[in-house]
Structure 1
Amino acid sequence: MSDGYGVTAGSIPLTTEQWRSLQELMVATQDGLAAESPSGFAPSVRGAAATFLAAWTGYAGESSTLADGFVRALGSTDSLYGRTDALSEVELGRLDGRLGPAR
């Protein structure tokens, strides 16, 4: 039966890296927009350009924060899966020892 999400323990590191790349891209975008000046625009649109740059600098920052949240959450999930797998391996090993010698 499918869980409907298509997420496996093996796909989490790849997905984490994709979110990390997006987060880095959003930081670069935020920095790039913040470095721009509306002074190159005609005086009649300079105010609108400044508003645009400020708004989109903020949107890129918010997107970076959201992507970073996904990176951290996926990292925690990956770590939890690893600990759970290790514990399961130990417990199954103990169970195997209780069954007696191999025949």
Structure 2
Amino acid sequence: MRTLWDNYPDGFYAHPSNGHKNKVPSKSYRGLIRYLTNYLSSLPIGLSKIVGYGGHQVRYYYQSHKIKLKTYETVDAQVFVGRLVQHILPKGF
């Protein structure tokens, strides 16, 4: 943890979406709290991105960072749920 603090004394964005690459939302703790609240309270995938469910498989899309295109994927429902629950924070976080 100390290494991260040394390397990023001003903080960093996990996924900058507002054009402020590698910048803390503001110098105040309020800005950081606002950013974390928005990040942690949002769903890992928007419901509109789920385009199909056939009882055992889920079809959805995402914006690929590698090819900059909308990418569709079909996975087993259990795999899909597994990908979502990894975003649930532990109790008391």
- TM-score with structure 1 setting the length: 0.31
**Computing the radius of gyration over CA atoms, which structure comes out larger, 1 or 2?**
1
Which is richer in strand?
A: 2
